[in-house]
């Protein structure tokens, strides 16, 4: 409030009522606030404020007892604290109190509403437009059937007619509101503001993402066929939603500037009538939206060369080297979690797994299959995250879901249609990526008939003469363009893209707060799984790591926690020819002969051990029925699961400690080691413009997955080169029990 003028009429803020307790105390009472004013001078001046008297009237009335400067000082102090406002006699007191209570000036709100009339349109089996019109009028909104600003009432936010309304609004540059008043969960908003937020097609994309069954039916029946759940409504429920929606719309209009931040700005309000709770769901504008954005944005991401930049390692603890603390990352991307409009449907502590010491979070996303009609639920995709503490576990689960979501085919990815023969040496053949053996290809019909898991299936042998889809990649080793089969990088790729030759692989896919962070994490995952495969399928006896040597209280507390549950824990050193610290943490319950395990790899050996232990926590199910994450009955022997008694424990200081000044230097150190082993580092940038979280698929042809892939190469060569085996095993001598975790 500006400086007081003597002619100004003052009133208490409409949300406050003044009550005098005695000569020296006055209380200001509101619905959600209360204040006390003390002192005889203060009380006398306060009781004269009634919305009728001017400042001069009040000063004159108290002049016999209080000097004019003292009275003005008292009034100015009350105004400065927001207790006093200019009187607005033409506005009903209860309406003025409402607008002030929601943070707006009543007179300004009324004036703004009078300037911005709206028209109302009802679609489908929604409530009659009259109910919405009535609610808007009661909220102070002026109705004009010809008004450009429109309130659209629909029985479903995905009704096809909304597409033409959206295109017209974008063309004319006019804002409009959407409300679904029917249902057990009415939806209010968003306000669509051309050029300043998402359009309806952005909203439709996110909502269809979270309705995969309906989307499957829509695709099969033609894109204009509408599939909606049964209508659920009573007059009271619909009128309640209309009333709440009218208030939200009135608040947006009352600001006088529809671009200002408000409850419906790029948001949907959901009213759950089962719990009587209201939740807010962000609607992200899609820069690649074909209607309001550039549909070529995603392809441009994939086609650009990858140029590494120096990035400071500001966070060294939980989860590895990071550019920022996990809580900041969560705060930046938490808006992407929503069962209505989110890329991620949920993010919660994992039931039965999460404890204060063993922090594990669960997350998930939804997928609509592109080919065929599934016989079982293949729509829900579960993810998990782990860490020493809840912050890291939560952000780990969130980023894994966003990482996997980013790897689902949407149709706008960068791609080239050609055969391997046409692309030549720049294309990485599917066989070089999958590493299946000739024997596995010959036995594929039998193996596939026995496979209970898609990951166990053997594809058709690669034919370099067949045209297929490839996505651009970048060789950081050679600084040149590469091409990778699209079906290897993106789940749900169309069958004609080349899916017969290879399925999607999440191996080496990682997210990070910057490209360099994601790339390092993906590369470490490849090294980890390569070392795990060499250990598992060759059944190599490896030494235990001396955990006491790290003097880490978390390691000690975790071992004690497992011991309390009847489990013994140890960590084996799997570090191989690349010299990057890699290990596996194993837990064993002798009473029921049950096993659990987790892998870890990092440039810092302490972090490698920590990651193996936290992954053990993630996969550990103390109440589960499975005896091990593999077929324990078929395992020929289990000696290699335990520390080799003939080898001394590996001291912490003996493990290699690598890394440079920043994340780029760390990647370059890893590249030098790969180059020394004759391996090339290739990356596919899968960052979605609407998600914003950098996601990279790191590919090193020749490194192995811990899935059963028995082609020639490192699986047989490394154990001999390291002196762990006297001769390479034959394929028939390898561990017959596959590892799928």
Using one digit for the tens of pLDDT, what is the confidence trace for 680-721? 999 999 999 999 999 999 999 999 999 999 999 999 999 999
**Is residue 729 domain-resident?**
no
Q: Are residues 268 and 125 in the same domain?
A: yes
pLDDT score of 88 more than 80: no
pLDDT score of 306 more than 80: yes
Final residue in a domain of this structure, among 87, 113, 142: 87
- Provide the pLDDT for residue 127: 58
Q: What are phi and psi of 561, to 5 degrees?
A: -65, -45
> DSSP characters for 11-60?
EE-TTEEEEEEETTEEEEEESS-EEEEESHHHHHHHHT-SSSSBHHHHHH
**Is residue 697 domain-resident?**
no
Between 623 and 92, residue with greater pLDDT: 623
* Residue where the block lists tokens 């047989």: 716
pLDDT score of 350 more than 70: yes
Model confidence pLDDT, tens digit, residues 10-37: 887 877 888 887 778 888 888 788 888 8
**Is residue 605 domain-resident?**
no
* Secondary structure of residue 149 in the 3-state scheme: coil
**Is residue 263 domain-resident?**
yes
Between 125 and 552, residue with greater pLDDT: 552
Final residue in a domain of this structure, among 33, 60, 87: 87
Return the sign of the alpha-carbon dihedral for residues 484, 488, 494, 500.
Answer: positive
- Provide the pLDDT for residue 283: 97
CB 666 within 8 A of CB 603: yes
pLDDT score of 97 more than 80: no
Q: Are residues 16 and 71 in the same domain?
A: yes
- Provide the pLDDT for residue 261: 54
- Provide the pLDDT for residue 260: 46
Degrees, nearest 5: CA angle 469-471-473: 150
- Burial state string for 349-377 with b = 16 or more CB within 10 A and e = fewer than 16: bbeebbeeebbbbbbbbbbbebeeeeeee
Tokens of 528: 């980890």
Cα 103 to Cα 261: distance, rounded to the nearest angstrom: 13
State the CB neighbour count (10 A cutoff) for residue 702: 17
Model confidence pLDDT, tens digit, residues 223-233: 666 777 778 88
Q: Are residues 194 and 68 in the same domain?
A: no
- Provide the pLDDT for residue 2: 63
- Provide the pLDDT for residue 258: 45
Domain harbouring 221, CATH code: 3.40.50.720
Looking at the chain, the number of H-run helices and the number of E-run strands are 23, 23
- Provide the pLDDT for residue 294: 96
Nearest to 690 by CA among 211, 396, 380, 301: 301
Percent of the chain's residues with pLDDT above 90: 68
**Is residue 355 domain-resident?**
no
Which contacts of 145-150 are long-range, i.e. CB under 8 A and separated by 24 or more positions? 145/119, 146/119, 147/117, 147/118, 147/119, 148/119, 148/172, 148/174, 149/116, 149/117, 149/118, 149/119, 149/174, 149/175, 149/176, 149/177, 149/253, 150/118, 150/119, 150/120, 150/121, 150/174, 150/176, 150/177
- Burial state string for 238-252 with b = 16 or more CB within 10 A and e = fewer than 16: bbbbbbbbbbbbbbb
Provide the H-helix boundaries in 589-700.
Answer: 605-619, 663-676
Q: Are residues 117 and 184 in the same domain?
A: yes
- Provide the pLDDT for residue 259: 44
The stretch 644-661 carries a mean pLDDT of: 92
Domain harbouring 37, CATH code: 3.90.930.60
Nearest to 693 by CA among 521, 467, 504: 521
Burial class (CB in 10 A: 0-12, 13-18, 19+), 136: buried
pLDDT score of 145 more than 80: yes
Tokens of 189: 């908003």
Q: What are phi and psi of 19, to 5 degrees?
A: -135, 130
Q: Are residues 278 and 131 in the same domain?
A: yes
Cα 118 to Cα 144: distance, rounded to the nearest angstrom: 6
* Secondary structure of residue 402 in the 3-state scheme: helix
Cα 60 to Cα 70: distance, rounded to the nearest angstrom: 12
CB 482 within 8 A of CB 432: no
* Residue where the block lists tokens 């003025």: 96
Q: Are residues 242 and 113 in the same domain?
A: yes
**Is residue 338 domain-resident?**
no
Nearest to 437 by CA among 714, 737, 710: 710
- Burial state string for 299-328 with b = 16 or more CB within 10 A and e = fewer than 16: bebbbeebebeebebebebbbbbbbebbee
- Provide the pLDDT for residue 23: 76
Between 127 and 705, residue with greater pLDDT: 705
CB 83 within 8 A of CB 74: no
* Secondary structure of residue 442 in the 3-state scheme: helix
pLDDT score of 280 more than 60: yes
The stretch 129-152 carries a mean pLDDT of: 91
Q: Are residues 131 and 259 in the same domain?
A: yes
DSSP label of 495:
G
Q: Are residues 53 and 177 in the same domain?
A: no
Helices 553-564 and 605-619 pack at an angle, to 10 degrees, of 30
**Is residue 33 domain-resident?**
yes
Final residue in a domain of this structure, among 229, 264, 282: 282
Return the sign of the alpha-carbon dihedral for residues 509, 513, 519, 524.
Answer: negative
Among 162-166, 622-626, 734-738, which is the least confidently predicted range?
622-626
Tokens of 382: 């579960």
Model confidence pLDDT, tens digit, residues 554-594: 999 999 999 999 999 999 999 999 999 999 999 999 999 99
* Secondary structure of residue 151 in the 3-state scheme: strand
Q: Taking every pair of C-alpha atoms in the chain, what is the biggest distance, in angstroms?
A: 110
**Is residue 674 domain-resident?**
no
pLDDT score of 340 more than 80: yes
Beta-carbon contacts of 608 under 8 Å, excluding residues fewer than 6 positions away, are 581, 582, 583, 600, 601, 602, 655
Cα 296 to Cα 287: distance, rounded to the nearest angstrom: 9
Q: How many domains does the chain have?
A: 2
Cα 409 to Cα 486: distance, rounded to the nearest angstrom: 9
- Per residue, the 3-state secondary structure of 524-584, as one string, reads HHHHHHHHHHHHHHHCCCCCEECHHHHCCHHHHHHHHHHHHCCCEEEEEECCCCCCCCEEE
Q: Are residues 83 and 106 in the same domain?
A: no
Model confidence pLDDT, tens digit, residues 258-274: 444 567 889 999 999 99
* Secondary structure of residue 253 in the 3-state scheme: helix
Percent of the chain's residues with pLDDT above 70: 97
* Residue where the block lists tokens 């390692």: 313
Model confidence pLDDT, tens digit, residues 423-446: 999 999 888 899 999 999 999 999
Cα 546 to Cα 446: distance, rounded to the nearest angstrom: 44
Q: Are residues 132 and 231 in the same domain?
A: yes
Among 279-293, 314-328, 404-418, 455-469, which is the least confidently predicted range?
314-328
Among 33-42, 275-284, 517-526, which is the least confidently predicted range?
33-42
State the CB neighbour count (10 A cutoff) for residue 645: 9
Report pTM. 0.90
Among 116-120, 254-258, 578-582, which is the least confidently predicted range?
254-258
Provide the H-helix boundaries in 592-703.
Answer: 605-619, 663-676
- Provide the pLDDT for residue 255: 76
Cα 652 to Cα 550: distance, rounded to the nearest angstrom: 6
- Burial state string for 498-535 with b = 16 or more CB within 10 A and e = fewer than 16: bbbbbbbbbbbbbbbbbbbbbbbbbbbbbbbbbbbbbb
Q: Which domain holds residue 56?
A: 10-87
| HSE value, Cβ hemisphere, 13 Å, CA-based, for 20 | 14
Nearest to 649 by CA among 565, 572, 566: 572
Q: Are residues 121 and 61 in the same domain?
A: no
Nearest to 593 by CA among 627, 620, 542: 627
Model confidence pLDDT, tens digit, residues 521-550: 999 999 999 999 999 999 999 999 999 999
Nearest to 458 by CA among 448, 471, 469, 468: 448
CB 600 within 8 A of CB 615: yes
Q: Are residues 68 and 118 in the same domain?
A: no
Average per-residue pLDDT for the chain = 91
DSSP label of 336:
G
């Amino acid at each position: 409030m500006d400086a007081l003028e003597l002619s100004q009429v003052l009133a208490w803020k409409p949300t406050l009522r003044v009550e005098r307790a005695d000569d020296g105390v006055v209380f200001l009472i509101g619905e959600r606030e209360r204040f006390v004013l003390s002192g005889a001078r203060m009380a006398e001046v306060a009781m004269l404020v009634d919305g009728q008297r001017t400042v001069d009237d009040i000063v004159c009335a108290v002049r016999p007892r209080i000097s004019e400067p003292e009275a003005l000082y008292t009034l100015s102090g009350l105004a400065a604290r927001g207790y006093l406002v200019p009187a607005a006699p033409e506005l009903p007191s209860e309406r003025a109190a409402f607008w002030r209570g929601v943070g707006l000036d009543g007179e300004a709100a009324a004036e703004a509403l009078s300037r911005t009339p709206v028209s109302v349109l009802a679609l489908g089996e929604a409530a009659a437009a009259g109910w919405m019109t009535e609610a808007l009028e009661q909220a102070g909104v002026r109705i004009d059937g010809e008004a450009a600003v429109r309130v659209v009432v629909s029985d479903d936010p995905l009704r096809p007619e909304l597409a033409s309304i959206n295109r017209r609004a974008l063309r004319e540059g006019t804002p409009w509101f959407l409300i679904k008043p029917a249902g057990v969960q009415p939806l209010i908003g968003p306000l669509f503001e051309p050029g300043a937020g998402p359009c309806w097609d952005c909203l439709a994309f996110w909502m269809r993402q979270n309705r995969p069954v309906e989307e499957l039916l829509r695709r099969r029946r033609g894109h204009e066929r509408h599939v909606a759940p049964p209508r659920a409504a009573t007059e009271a429920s619909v009128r309640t939603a209309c009333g709440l929606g009218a208030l939200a719309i009135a608040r947006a209009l009352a600001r006088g500037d529809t671009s200002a931040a408000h409850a419906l700005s790029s948001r949907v309000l959901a009213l759950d009538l089962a719990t009587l709770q209201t939740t807010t769901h962000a609607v992200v504008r899609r820069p690649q939206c074909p209607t309001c954005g550039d549909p070529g944005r995603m392809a441009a991401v994939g086609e650009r060369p990858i140029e590494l930049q120096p990035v400071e390692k500001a966070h060294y603890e939980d989860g590895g080297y990071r550019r920022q603390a996990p809580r900041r990352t969560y705060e930046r991307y938490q808006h992407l979690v929503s069962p209505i409009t989110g890329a991620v449907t949920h993010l919660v502590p994992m039931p039965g797994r999460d404890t204060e010491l063993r922090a594990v979070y669960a997350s998930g996303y939804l997928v609509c299959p592109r080919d065929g009609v599934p016989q079982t639920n293949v729509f829900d995709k579960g993810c998990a995250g782990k860490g020493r503490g809840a912050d890291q576990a939560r952000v780990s689960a969130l980023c894994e879901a966003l990482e996997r979501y980013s790897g689902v085919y949407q149709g706008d990815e960068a791609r080239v249609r050609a055969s391997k023969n046409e692309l030549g040496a720049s294309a990485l053949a599917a066989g070089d990526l999958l590493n299946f053996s000739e024997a596995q290809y010959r036995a594929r019909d039998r193996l596939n008939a026995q496979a209970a898991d898609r990951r166990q299936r053997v594809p058709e042998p690669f034919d370099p003469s067949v045209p297929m889809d490839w996505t651009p990649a970048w060789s950081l080793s050679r600084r040149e363009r590469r091409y990778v089969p699209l079906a290897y990088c993106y789940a749900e790729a169309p069958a004609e893209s080349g899916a017969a030759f290879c399925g999607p692989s999440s191996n080496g896919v990682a997210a990070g707060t910057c490209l360099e962070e994601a790339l390092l994490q993906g590369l470490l995952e490849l090294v980890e799984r390569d070392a795990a495969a060499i250990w598992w399928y060759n059944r190599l006896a490896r030494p235990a790591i001396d955990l006491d040597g790290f003097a880490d209280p978390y390691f000690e507390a975790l071992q004690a926690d497992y011991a309390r549950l009847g489990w013994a824990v140890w960590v084996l050193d799997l570090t191989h020819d690349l010299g990057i610290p890699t290990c596996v943490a194993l837990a064993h319950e002798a009473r029921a002969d049950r096993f659990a395990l987790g892998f870890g790899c990092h440039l810092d050996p302490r972090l490698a051990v920590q990651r193996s232990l936290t992954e053990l926590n993630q996969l550990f199910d103390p109440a589960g029925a499975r005896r091990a994450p593999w077929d324990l009955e078929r395992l020929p022997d289990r000696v290699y699961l335990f520390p080799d008694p003939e080898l001394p424990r590996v001291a912490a200081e003996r493990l290699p400690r690598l890394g440079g000044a920043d994340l780029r230097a760390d990647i370059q150190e890893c590249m030098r080691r790969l180059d020394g082993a004759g391996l090339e580092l290739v990356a596919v940038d899968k960052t979605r413009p609407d998600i914003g979280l950098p996601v990279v698929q790191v590919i090193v042809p020749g490194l192995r997955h811990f899935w059963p892939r028995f082609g020639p190469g490192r699986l047989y060569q490394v154990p001999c080169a390291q002196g762990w085996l006297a001769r390479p095993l034959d394929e028939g001598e390898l561990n017959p029990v596959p590892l799928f975790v």
